[in-house]
Amino acid sequence: MRQLIFALIIVTTLLVSSAFAQKDEQLPSVNGGEPTAEATLEGQSEVDLSGTAEKEPDANKPLAWFVGLQGRLNWIPPVFPELFLEEAPAVVGPGFTVTGSWRSNSESGFGVTFGIGYLDYSADGPYRDKGDPETDTEFIESSLGMVYLSGTMFWSTRFGEMFAFEYGFGLDFGIVTGEIKRTEAYPDPGSDTGWAACEGPQPPGAPNAAYCAYPAVGVNEEGEHYGVVEDSIPPVFALPAIPQLALRFEPDPMVALKLQVAYGIVQFCFGLAAEIGVEAL
């Protein structure tokens, strides 16, 4: 009986020792092989926090530099020159600008744009000073243009994930190209402007002698002008744009399309621009 009891005690001791040995062997496996719940939470916290910190935008960091191309249309309606003149042709001229711009990532959306381009101011039509008789009407042939530098400061307000409204002011400063020719004109109901340029002085009794009269004189002389080049055009010119407005569409943060309009003293400017972020090139 004593031998049986002694054998049971030995077997029980061996079983307990084996169980504790297995537990000790499993603990390093849990801690070293698979992370505990506490370790897993700590690891996730560190990863999530570091990832969030990298994605948070810096309000003082510039969003991007952009380069782009702008198509422009300048319109000088007759109502403006007719404030000072009796007759004047309307001017509708296309143009283009190669642009570079920078926008901040701040709440105001402040930005600047600069560029270089060309504007066409060519026009044909009748011209007459206020108070002059109808017989003093001249026909203007303009091939004027302007190679210019432009600068714009603007702010923007977002009203959607891909849309923003820009508002600001700008200035075009450039060198004037081309010339204006002045020629006496006579009424011509069949022309688009209602007037036509005289081919030269007409002798007394000719149908248009009252309009295409003698004598032919120089540009700075009082009298009749025939193909005379105007010499009072300034070589340089500055055109402000106040205000300058634009609707910006951004299908991608590094791509922008703009529909623009501006007013500058005696003209309206309409534009369509496309810009792409430099980092995306």
Q: What is the pLDDT along the chain (281 residues), one digit of tens a residue?
A: 444 444 444 444 444 444 444 444 444 444 444 544 444 444 444 444 444 444 444 444 445 799 999 999 999 887 888 788 888 888 899 999 999 999 887 777 899 999 999 999 999 999 999 889 999 999 999 999 999 999 999 999 998 889 999 999 999 999 999 999 999 999 999 888 899 999 999 998 888 999 999 888 887 788 899 999 998 899 998 989 999 999 999 999 889 999 999 998 888 999 999 999 987 55
Residues 25 and 112 grouped into a single domain: no
Query: Distance between CA 105 and CA 157 in Å, rounded?
Result: 12
For residue 251, say if its preceding peptide bond is cis, omega within 30 degrees of 0.
no
* Sign of the alpha-carbon torsion through 89, 268, 249, 59: positive
Residues 86 and 28 grouped into a single domain: no
Residues 47 and 96 grouped into a single domain: no
Residues 8 and 101 grouped into a single domain: no
Domain count across the chain:
2
pTM reported for the whole predicted model = 0.70
Which of 55, 72, 100 is the last residue before a domain boundary? 55
Amino acid sitting at position 59 = A
Residues 41 and 108 grouped into a single domain: no
Query: Distance between CA 249 and CA 29 in Å, rounded?
Result: 57
Residues 92 and 32 grouped into a single domain: no
Residues 235 and 165 grouped into a single domain: yes
Residues 273 and 151 grouped into a single domain: yes
3-state helix, strand, coil in the chain (%, to 5): 20, 50, 30
Residues 13 and 123 grouped into a single domain: no
Q: Which domain holds residue 50?
A: 2-55
What's residue 46's pLDDT? Answer: 47
Query: Distance between CA 113 and CA 66 in Å, rounded?
Result: 9
Q: How far, in Å, are 128, 173, 179, 226 from residue 216 at the CA level?
A: 17, 36, 20, 7
Query: Distance between CA 193 and CA 123 in Å, rounded?
Result: 11
Residues 127 and 186 grouped into a single domain: yes
* Sign of the alpha-carbon torsion through 88, 89, 90, 93: negative
What's residue 63's pLDDT? Answer: 59
- Output the CA angle 214-216-218, nearest 5 degrees: 150
Among 91, 95, 93, 112, CA closest to 103? 112
Query: Distance between CA 251 and CA 63 in Å, rounded?
Result: 15
Query: Distance between CA 235 and CA 47 in Å, rounded?
Result: 64
What's residue 116's pLDDT? Answer: 97
When computed from its CA atoms, the radius of gyration of the chain, rounded to whole angstroms, is 40
CATH of the domain at 269: 2.40.160.20
Question: C-alpha 30: how far from its chain's center?
Answer: 62
Residues 214 and 273 grouped into a single domain: yes
Residues 39 and 160 grouped into a single domain: no
Residue 273 · residue 68 · CB < 8 Å: yes
